[in-house]
């Protein structure tokens, strides 16, 4: 008999929660891009949010040293080492003036994405409502689906600075809502939020008994005079919610998978409890290198933001040259949110760019129905390649 036969004596039926998961929209995007590259075309991939610069050298060196420490070859403490929690608390005090109790108000995560999925498991029952930005990061949807809860979408319109309009949320959704996701600087729209918006948010959340989950993944990347505002800088923020921070974007540590949940101690305790059942914390050497990133010199962060600003300026100057008029430069994050030319949907324009210009961008519809009419482009390659991408778009003759 063939030992490799895949016939089974019975059919394996996935759990309902597996059937309820949203389709991974971006897996399809990657597949299309790879197929084009395999045909030998020179693809400029601006469709994903994967930082293209290496992790700063002093952080890498610290991991190399720490890997030799036999203490880290054993199981780490379940909720992580105290020195890493202290490091993120120190960083928030220095950058945002926010006081955090490292033991009660900090949870260490396997990357920010993990926490954004876990918080729904911690707070939502089947039938509960979660308020979700549209367009928004698709992993919010995954957590809500796994919890068996329902999403009520909050449209982010350009006319409102891509901020949600709390007055437009249906009363029936407000009655059942227990959790709300926010994300500024925003993926995909690149919008930023100000102090007044967060003050309104805290009042709104307190009034309706809704926990705020502020996704601050791009917190370090702002192009204004001031640093982007943290939700936790707002008076009362810790009473109503938590913020998710990650080292992925700030220190080019996407592959290291280090993130944090910060703020309300009850929510932090729930996240630590669920993680006790899933994990046994991060490798200690990575925790030590992460602490070095947070407490060491920060000029690498300033250089990174300057690099993204310079790339942004080069790209938008090139857009001007090809006659693409109605595009606004991003205020934060490393994304550009570009309205598609007349006569196109977000998907048809993304397909055209791949087929005719060999450029990968993410169609806005992948981030929610209100993402229709836009594509997202990442500033994640050098200035020369970004200018080349603009020139290729120009040669399509869409803006004559």
Mean pLDDT across the chain? 95
**Given this model, what pLDDT does residue 1 score?**
52
pTM higher than 0.75 for the full model? Answer: yes
281 close to 79: Cβ distance less than 8 angstroms = yes
Q: How confident is the model at residue 5 (pLDDT cuts 50, 70, 90)?
A: low
Q: Is the pLDDT of residue 3 over 70?
A: no
3-state helix, strand, coil in the chain (%, to 5): 45, 15, 40
Domains of the chain by start residue, with CATH: 16-54+300-394 (3.90.1150.10), 58-295 (3.40.640.10)
User: pLDDT digit string (tens) for 41-97?
Assistant: 999 999 988 899 999 999 999 999 999 999 999 999 999 999 999 999 999 999 999
Nearest Cα residue to 214 out of 248, 195, 237, 188: 237
Proportion of the chain above pLDDT 70, given as a percent? 98
343-346 contacts: CB < 8 A, separation 24 or more?
Answer: 345/372, 345/373, 346/371, 346/372, 346/373, 346/374, 346/375
Give the three-state DSSP class for 182. strand
User: pLDDT digit string (tens) for 164-193?
Assistant: 999 999 999 999 999 999 999 999 999 999
Q: Kindly report whether the peptide bond that precedes residue 41 is cis, defined as omega within 30 degrees of 0.
A: no
User: pLDDT digit string (tens) for 205-238?
Assistant: 999 999 999 999 999 999 998 899 999 999 999 9
261 close to 119: Cβ distance less than 8 angstroms = yes
Look up tokens 């005090």; give the residue.
Answer: 93
Q: Classify residue 82 as left (phi > 0), alpha (psi -120 to 50) or beta.
A: alpha
The two tokens of residue 78 are 């379940």
User: pLDDT digit string (tens) for 255-292?
Assistant: 999 999 999 999 999 999 999 999 989 999 999 999 99
357 close to 42: Cβ distance less than 8 angstroms = no
Please state, in angstroms and rounded to a whole number, the distance separating the CA atoms of residues 33 and 129: 36
Sort strands 374-378 and 106-109 into parallel, antiparallel or unpaired: unpaired
Give the three-state DSSP class for 82. helix
């Amino acid at each position: 008999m063939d030992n490799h036969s895949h016939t089974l004596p019975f059919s394996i039926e996935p759990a309902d929660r597996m059937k309820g998961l949203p389709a991974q929209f971006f897996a399809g995007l990657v597949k299309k891009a790879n197929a084009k590259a395999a045909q030998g075309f020179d693809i400029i991939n601006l469709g994903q949010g994967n930082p293209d610069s290496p992790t700063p050298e002093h952080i890498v060196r610290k991991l190399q040293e720490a890997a030799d420490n036999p203490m880290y070859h054993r199981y780490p403490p379940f909720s992580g080492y105290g020195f890493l929690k202290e490091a993120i608390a120190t960083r928030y005090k220095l950058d945002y003036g926010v006081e955090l109790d490292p033991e009660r108000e900090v949870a260490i995560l396997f990357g920010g994405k993990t926490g954004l999925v876990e918080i729904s498991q911690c707070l939502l029952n089947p039938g509960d409502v979660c308020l979700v930005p549209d367009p928004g990061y698709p992993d919010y949807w995954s957590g809500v689906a796994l919890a068996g809860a329902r999403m009520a979408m909050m449209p982010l319109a350009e006319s409102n600075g891509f901020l949600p309009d709390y007055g437009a949320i249906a009363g029936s959704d407000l009655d059942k809502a227990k959790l709300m996701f926010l994300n500024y600087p925003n993926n995909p729209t690149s919008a930023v939020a100000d102090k007044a918006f967060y003050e309104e948010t805290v009042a709104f959340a307190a009034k309706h008994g809704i926990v705020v989950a502020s996704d601050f993944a791009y917190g370090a990347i702002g192009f204004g005079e001031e640093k982007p505002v943290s939700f936790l800088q707002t008076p009362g923020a810790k009473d109503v919610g938590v913020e998710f921070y990650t080292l992925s974007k700030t220190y080019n540590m996407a592959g290291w998978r280090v993130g944090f949940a910060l703020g309300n101690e009850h929510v932090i305790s729930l996240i630590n409890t669920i993680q006790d059942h899933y994990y046994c914390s991060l490798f200690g050497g990575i925790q030590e290198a992460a602490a070095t990133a947070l407490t060491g010199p920060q000029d690498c962060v300033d250089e990174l933001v300057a690099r993204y600003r310079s790339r942004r300026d080069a790209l938008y100057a090139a857009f001007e040259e090809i006659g693409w008029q109605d595009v606004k430069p991003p205020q934060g994050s490393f994304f550009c949110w570009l309205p598609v030319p007349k006569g196109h949907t977000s998907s048809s324009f993304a397909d055209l760019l791949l087929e005719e210009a060999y450029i990968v961008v993410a169609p806005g519809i992948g981030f929610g129905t209100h993402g229709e009419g836009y594509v997202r482009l990442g500033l994640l390659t050098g200035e020369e390649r970004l200018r080349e991408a603009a020139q290729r778009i120009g040669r399509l003759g869409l803006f004559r």
